[in-house]
Structure 1
Amino acid sequence: MKFPLMRNNIARDDLDALIEHLKQDDPILTNGPNVRAFEQEWNGWLGTKYSVFVNSGASANLLTMAILKIRYPEGGEVIVPPLTWISDIASVVQNGFTPVFVDIDPTTLAMDASKIIDAISDRTLAVFLTHVQGFDGLTDELIRYLDQAGILLIEDVCESHGATHNGRKLGSFGWISNFSFYYAHHMTTIEGGMICTNDPEAYQAARMLRSHGMVRESNDPAVKNAYIADHPDLNPDFIFAHAAYNVRNTEIGGILGRRQLPRLDANVKLRTENFLHFLSRINPAKFRTDFKTEGSSNYAFNLVLQRPDMDFAERLMSAMRKSGIEFRRGSAGGGNQLRQPYLKSIIPAEHYKNFPQTDHIHFFGFYIGNFPDLRIDEVDEICTLLNSVN
């Protein structure tokens, strides 16, 4: 591909740092000091008290819902978007909660805040909001409402590292937030994710859930001692508090994260400049340009047709393929999750028809690669080609 979704996201210096680590006589490779250091450095960057490094953003989603299940074992409703990655919804279902779907705001691709508020019931426990592809999905009204109602906000920031709301980084507003360090994202540990929170109980639960539910993974002596006192018949090294998982990351991931984090803010700036230039050059008669760009840290070039036109969409895809422009149809997660087979037994038939904004993205929305070393002249070339399609 001439214009891939990502290019050069791991620098030569990053690889050299890994090689130096591996040259040691007995290098630590499993979860160790670089993982712990990365977690602390990430806290400093994001502005949260606690972070837990895991093997993917999907695992961060899974553990977050498992922590919610510990808090609410009786279950309840979690409001989720139909435009997101599968793991946001799957983690809700896997932990026994009922997903309640809300259509998106076309200017942010996140759930429409007013529709979230309308969907809240006496069974609502949390709102699992995805900040899609670098856009700020929050509103002041939504933050105030959830705080007053005592409903938890969970932020999926997997595609939106460095995006802000009122100058404050996304991922620092919610009870828990999740990040992904997949190769194509703003920074990468090849595979990886982070769970972030200011809640000490959620933090201790995340540490244990990450590693088989073992109590020894807690770094709070009071938590450890309570379990030991309650279970004198068990070896203190092998007390399993929860039926949990093994989703630890490694020292390799920790080293990469520590190397990449200092470049993150500069990369966000470049991505945002690219995106604003892209929006200024594509034809607004054919493509939407009215996105909410304040506070964004764009993940990709969002290409959404102004009107539903299947023939034009087919011609556009053909032109992109011929020109070597890699793209994804349906935007985040492949479009409307309500059309996917895994939800057929959970939601009513044809429920997707109640979400027209998401369904428009499903058929007529695309994203194209945006990355820090993409040159402005390359952005111009992409826009010229897109605008030439009739």
Structure 2
Amino acid sequence: MQIPLSKPDITNLEIQYVTDVLKSGNLSLGDKVRAFEQKFEEWLRISHAVAMNSGTSALHVAVKSLGLKPGDEVITSPYSFVASSNCLLFEGVKPVFVDVHPDTTVMNEDLIEAAITDKTKAILVVHIFGHPCNMEKIMDIANRYQLKVIEDACESIGATWNGQYTGTFGDISVFAFYPNKQMTTGEGGMLVTNNTHIYEMAKSLRNQGRSVKNEWLVHERLGYNYRLSDVHAAIGVAQMERIQDILTKREQAATRYHTLIQKHTVPVTHLQCHPAATISWFVYPILLPNQVNRDEVMAKLSEKGVQTKPYFPSIHLQSFYQDMLNTKTGDFPVSEMLAQRSLALPFFNNITMEEQTYVIETLLSILKEQGA
């Protein structure tokens, strides 16, 4: 049996909408982009959405739209995909890391205040693996210290904190639609906000800095080519029309993994859910036992047809971050522990019970061989 790590969920609806765009002759800056944005606004009940060509582009525009500049500091998590901090470096802003919770893997909100200095301008929260950060406490801190909040919700569409969607708490929030995400556009991202000034700035920056009126070849600021094509947006429209079904499938798949791990008494730990949170499952990460060699486990799983990946390396231990920020091993021990022991199992919308059973039984057999 061959089981990939992820697989996009594409139906005839996506194919039809893409075909419609291809037949229209209007592949960029057309109606489908705005339709995709409107679907997002309606889903989140938020005022403005700006589609872009990636989550990273949207994060960069978020930093730029807030006017963050060299010398400023932003508090964020080291346990994330590197883009969440790279977007700060693009503008010369210094990421200031705080460690994470070991069970939910999100930023430890109790460590934020100690990291605030007179240079701190914002908090960039990462809803890693689709688990929300404690937005109640984080927004309280931000309000008391007059800090902006950027939500990296790239992995958390549909997740909630106390019933409120991630992406609706901060000044700016960002989502991403790479093929391994809950929903996909192939490549793509979305910036959302309730602030009209930020919205107009984001629209301008994604399209070469053109004027708010989108006048031809009138450029009011330095901008970028971060546009999303109508072909990609067409896929997004279809995926948004199916979003609840997509999230339900992933919740069911996660529940099946939980049950199988418990049934077979597999000596691993899966992502825990805070009582105030609902998870939108991006991947299915587990923590392997301390005594296990993760590389050997991955290699043996691969031999059996099961694709896995480690998620995530700690950003502060990437070589260029160590050079730039003088960070080192031991600075953020929880993040480092998660990085050393984490493993993402195959996880996608239409994964079957048979495939998941094979994954868990194969994993258990390998762990037993290693004495776990």
| TM-score, structure 1 normalization | 0.88
- Give the deviation of 1:361 after TM superposition: 1.9
Residues 91-132 of structure 1 show CA distances to partners (whole Å, capped at 9, x for unaligned) of 101102111011111222111111123212222111111111
Report the secondary structure of 1:53's partner residue.
strand
**8 Å CA contact retained: 1:213, 1:241:** yes
Residues 277-308 of structure 1 show CA distances to partners (whole Å, capped at 9, x for unaligned) of 212322667211361164001111111124x3
- Give the deviation of 1:164 after TM superposition: 0.7
Cα pair distance change 1:217/1:324, threshold 3 Å: farther
Counterpart residue number, 1:12: 12
CA distance in 2 between counterparts of 1:19 and 1:315 reads 45
- Give the deviation of 1:165 after TM superposition: 0.7
Report the secondary structure of 1:282's partner residue.
helix
CA distance in 2 between counterparts of 1:322 and 1:269 reads 31
Matching of residue 263 in structure 1 with residue 242 in structure 2: yes
Matching of residue 304 in structure 1 with residue 287 in structure 2: yes
**Aligned equivalent of 1:177, options 173, 177, 185:** 173
**8 Å CA contact retained: 1:83, 1:336:** yes
Q: 2:172 corresponds to which letter in structure 1?
A: I
Matching of residue 68 in structure 1 with residue 66 in structure 2: yes
Matching of residue 317 in structure 1 with residue 271 in structure 2: no
Identity of aligned residues (%): 27
- Give the deviation of 1:273 after TM superposition: 2.0
Residues 172-192 of structure 1 show CA distances to partners (whole Å, capped at 9, x for unaligned) of 111100000111111111100
**8 Å CA contact retained: 2:7, 2:179:** no
Counterpart residue number, 2:23: 23
Counterpart residue number, 1:95: 91
Counterpart residue number, 1:112: 108
Moved over 6 A (4+): none
Counterpart residue number, 1:222: none
Report the secondary structure of 1:377's partner residue.
helix
**8 Å CA contact retained: 1:9, 1:184:** no
Q: 1:373 corresponds to which letter in structure 2?
A: N
CA distance in 2 between counterparts of 1:33 and 1:295 reads 33
CA distance in 1 between counterparts of 2:72 and 2:21 reads 47
**8 Å CA contact retained: 1:54, 1:247:** yes
Counterpart residue number, 2:78: 82
Report the secondary structure of 1:297's partner residue.
coil
Matching of residue 254 in structure 1 with residue 233 in structure 2: yes
Residues 232-288 of structure 1 show CA distances to partners (whole Å, capped at 9, x for unaligned) of xxxx64442222211101111121111110111111122112112212322667211
Name structure 1 gaps, 5 residues minimum: 219-235
- Give the deviation of 1:341 after TM superposition: 2.2
Counterpart residue number, 2:343: 366
- Give the deviation of 1:382 after TM superposition: 1.4
- Give the deviation of 1:141 after TM superposition: 2.0
Matching of residue 289 in structure 1 with residue 270 in structure 2: yes
**Aligned equivalent of 1:133, options 115, 123, 129:** 129
**8 Å CA contact retained: 2:203, 2:212:** no
**8 Å CA contact retained: 2:69, 2:91:** no
Q: How many residues align?
A: 363
Matching of residue 37 in structure 1 with residue 35 in structure 2: yes
45-54 vs 83-92, which deviates more? 83-92
Report the secondary structure of 1:361's partner residue.
helix
**8 Å CA contact retained: 1:216, 1:238:** no
CA distance in 2 between counterparts of 1:13 and 1:48 reads 26
Matching of residue 336 in structure 1 with residue 309 in structure 2: no
Report the secondary structure of 1:126's partner residue.
strand
Matching of residues 225-244 of structure 1 within 5 Å: 237-244=216-223
- Give the deviation of 1:217 after TM superposition: 4.9
**8 Å CA contact retained: 2:21, 2:27:** no
**Aligned equivalent of 1:348, options 326, 341, 346:** 326
Counterpart residue number, 2:52: 54
- Give the deviation of 1:139 after TM superposition: 4.2
| TM-score, structure 2 normalization | 0.92
Cα pair distance change 1:147/1:276, threshold 3 Å: farther
CA distance in 1 between counterparts of 2:42 and 2:11 reads 23
Counterpart residue number, 2:252: 273
Residues 1-55 of structure 1 show CA distances to partners (whole Å, capped at 9, x for unaligned) of 822122242223311332233234xx21112111011111110001210010000
- Give the deviation of 1:349 after TM superposition: 4.9
Cα pair distance change 1:242/1:369, threshold 3 Å: farther
Cα pair distance change 1:251/1:46, threshold 3 Å: same
Q: 2:221 corresponds to which letter in structure 1?
A: H
- Give the deviation of 1:147 after TM superposition: 2.2
CA distance in 2 between counterparts of 1:163 and 1:95 reads 29
134-143 vs 262-271, which deviates more? 134-143
Name structure 2 gaps, 5 residues minimum: none
Report the secondary structure of 2:269's partner residue.
coil
- Give the deviation of 1:75 after TM superposition: 4.2
**8 Å CA contact retained: 2:317, 2:327:** no
